[in-house]
Structure formats: C-alpha cells, structure tokens
Amino acid sequence: MNDSKNGITYKTVDAGNFAKLLGTKATSLFYNEEQLYILNGDFQPYINIVKNGSTAKINLKMFFNITAFSYEKFDVEYNYCEFISSNRRVKFSMPDYSENSFYNYKKDLYETDYQNSIDISSNTNKNTEKLNKLINIMSSGKFTIKFTNDDGGWWTMEVNNSSVIKNWIKILKDYKLLLSLY
C-alpha cells in the first residue's frame, strides 16, 4: 500500500512489520569537461519503522544513488557526506555501499551505479546534535551536499529547490516527533 500526505509518501513494505516514510527525491547532474565524465545523482531522506516483537525500531536515513557515465572505468566510491550551509556544516560517514560497473556498447561508455545510505539517527543512536544541525542547515534556504573519498576526490550538489527543502525538513521534524514518542 502506498499513500501520500503532505508530500510524504507512506509505503508499506511488509504489512504490520515494516513501513517507510519517503521524502521528495532531489536530482543533480554534474559534467566534468576535462576528465569527460557525467555524474547523475538522486537523493532522498526516509524514515524506516520496523516492528520487532512488541516494540518498534525507527531510524532516519538518506539514500543516494549516483550514476557515472565515462569513457574510462570510473570509481565512484565516496566515504563521507557533508551538508554545508553558509555558516554550518555536519559530516556523516558512509561505510557501506554497492557499486556496479559495466561497459555499455551501444553508448560506447562505462556506466557505474553507486548506491549508499547514511544513518542520520535511530532510536538506539539518536545523534540529536547532528540531527538538529542538519535541520538548521536545511532551514537556511539552500545548502550543498559534498561527497568525499579517502583519495581526495569529491563531488558537490547544490540543493536550492524550496519545495524539496521544505519536504526534507518536514521528514526530519516528523522523525524527531516519532523519536520523542518512542
């Protein structure tokens, strides 16, 4: 069952046991003329609610899906994600990822799909300071998401769509409400 209220999609994954509240998806496109590659990224916050016996576990995550198109094999492995406004920044580790590369003969390009999510908060690790900082960063009206790896590589995405930002702030505040009721 999928339902939508106030721009937040509710998705029942396993009836009675697992549900998701999904924020609006933001998309970014980046082109590097010198190194001849294109990065396309989708980003989406979500709340997981998982029934565990007579209790429930909740967590707040941000999902990333980045696709790279290049003439040479391209490694998209990012280890850190940082949210940056004009006067604030908060950094999260991204330890787990999935990457799939293949050569597309029709397009004569390498395609690399990279998926990762960051754990922003959970009922066992509330991470309240970072969560509040993230809400303040998003409330500034526009912010940057910067991905970095251990080799010094980085990529940034500017988020300035007001409806996306309002939706993301609503997801974070709804999560804080759920966390306070937990």
- Give residue-wise pLDDT tens across range 149-163: 888 888 888 999 999
In angstroms, the CA 167 to CA 176 distance is 14
Predicted TM-score (pTM) of this structure? 0.83
Window from 53-57, 133-137, 158-162 with minimum mean pLDDT: 53-57
pLDDT of the residue at 149 = 86
Q: How many CB atoms lie within 10 A of CB 76?
A: 23
33 — phi, psi (to 5°)? Answer: -70, -35
Q: Mean of the pLDDT values across residues 93-114?
A: 88
CA distances from 68 to 13, 81, 146, 180 (A): 29, 17, 16, 40
Length of the chain in residues, anyone?
182
| Amino acid 19: pLDDT | 82
φ/ψ of residue 124, rounded to 5: -90, -25
Ranges 31-35, 48-52, 176-180: which has the least confidence: 31-35
Domain containing residue 145: 2-181
Question: In the prediction, which pLDDT does 4 show?
Answer: 47
Mean pLDDT of the region 8-12: 57
pLDDT at 53 over 50: yes
> In total, how many domains does the chain have?
1
In this structure, are residues 171 and 46 in contact, taking their beta carbons and an 8 Å threshold?
yes
